[in-house]
Amino acid sequence: MTSSVRCYQLDQSEYIHLFSSQLIYLFSLFNEYDYSIRIIGGAVRDILLGTTPHDIDLATTATTNDILRLIQGDSNIELVYTRAEHFGTLTLIVGTTVRNTFQVTTLKRSITRHGRDVHVEFTDNWSIDAQQRDLTINSLSMDKDGIIYDYTNGIDDLKLNRIRFNGNIIQRLQENPIRGLRYFRFFGVLSSDAYVHEPNILEAIRTSATALKDVPGEKIWSELELILRGRFAGHVMRTILEQQFAPLLGLPDSSVEMYELENRWLRCMNYQPEPMTLLITLFDNQDEFDIFCKRIKCSTRQKKLGEFLLDYRYSIQPSNNHDLLDTYKEFLIDSHSTQQDILYEYIIELLKYQGYIDLIDDIKQWSIPKFPIDIWDLQQNGLISKYHFSHFLRQLKEQWKLSQYMMTKEELIEYGFQSGLFYT
């Protein structure tokens, strides 16, 4: 399997900032021993799109054993053992004072998967490696001189905002089932039309979808989270669910909620809703959400946000008085002081979920007033409560709220004496 290569020379100003002293050291080491090494995949794509890459991944003609021999005894390079060595990927931390981490992967000829068992065959041919990668836009590589190598017309696809698999789509998906979700993720990033998918791609993804059952939940959540933060999150998520993905992702299977998720995103997309704010639309109850959390290892923060939205999406609603946010504010004021910051963020997500977009800016301009008194204040003043402290602190807090949060500590203590709440 061979193909021609098209080369594109970048201006030095477009790529030189990527080459830290640590990366230059790594390139020099490999080149000294006649191994070819290049920046690969997403970093090259991002450079062409004019964005700064988050990570720099590298590919090389050297095998993992070759790399281990190269770095043996090199005090400037630390090897971090992961579970990816079997797949030809080594994680290297380069540098002493300033340290950068790089994943270096041996070029691949083929990937064969049987359930969770994966066999990888390696090569030293850049063209073969490029053609077995998932998407053409991720198959680009770049050397130290800023020359980009394009074996699969990935640059043309980037210019056309086209997401295209390399070669046989079914084969690419069989090699790694997560590639179906990766397609949707990059579609959301690059496509110029939220609704236009090539029918053969969707058919192949549908046909291969069952293999997702063998993909670890953490990997699925990693893709879902990026999809739900994408430009076309609502549209893309609806398309995913239309491919019958829901059971494989631990999600309830409901066409009604699928469209409601899309509508919810349309209402609040300009306020960057959290992934879980959108996804919770699909769940009717806690049991359904628990099934999802068991399948998908989402972050603790996202899980707690989901639980909060399930608990309060109907019970906290705008007030009927002049301040529509009264019920939201009162909830925050009544919450424990150590939880107020995170609950404040959750309340903003709740407003997005409920569609009260015009109230978001108002609550962002509001600061939670701090109740000026606590048990320690009372004890230090030698006060003794007729009841448990928590009981009469609630009474003082109600009086403080009636004063529109204006009463000071001294005024509250004086009120306590005058009302007979406590004595000395």
326-358 pLDDT, tens per residue? Answer: 999 999 999 988 899 999 999 999 999 999 999
Q: CB 342: neighbour CB atoms within 10 A?
A: 14
First to last CA, the chain: 91
Task: Work out the pLDDT band at 393, boundaries 50, 70, 90.
Answer: confident
- The pLDDT, as a whole number, for residue 49 is 92
For strands 422-423 and 384-385, give the pairing.
antiparallel
- The pLDDT, as a whole number, for residue 117 is 78
| Fold of the 168-288 domain | cca-adding enzyme, domain 2 (1.10.3090)
C-alpha to C-alpha distance for 51 and 146, rounded to whole angstroms? 16
C-alpha to C-alpha distance for 29 and 143, rounded to whole angstroms? 14
Are 172 and 207 within 8 A, CB to CB?
A: no
Mean pLDDT of the 71-85 span: 88
**Which residues 6+ apart lie within 8 Å of 411 measured at CB?**
none
Task: Work out the pLDDT band at 242, boundaries 50, 70, 90.
Answer: very high
- Gyration radius from the chain CA atoms: 28
- The pLDDT, as a whole number, for residue 377 is 75
Q: Given this structure, which CATH class describes domain 1-166?
A: alpha beta
Mean pLDDT of the 82-92 span: 86
Sorted by where each begins, the domain ranges of the chain are 1-166, 168-288, 314-365, 375-419
Percent of the chain topping pLDDT 90: 75
pLDDT at 255 over 60: yes
C-alpha to C-alpha distance for 8 and 143, rounded to whole angstroms? 11
Residue 319 token pair:
């007030």
pLDDT at 65 over 90: yes
Task: Work out the pLDDT band at 382, boundaries 50, 70, 90.
Answer: low
Instruction: Report CA dihedral (235, 238, 242, 248) to the nearest 10 degrees.
Output: 130
Mean pLDDT of the 299-315 span: 96
**Which residues 6+ apart lie within 8 Å of 306 measured at CB?**
276, 279, 280, 283, 289, 293, 298
Tens of pLDDT, residue by residue over 135-189, are 999 999 999 999 999 999 999 999 999 999 999 999 999 999 999 999 999 999 9
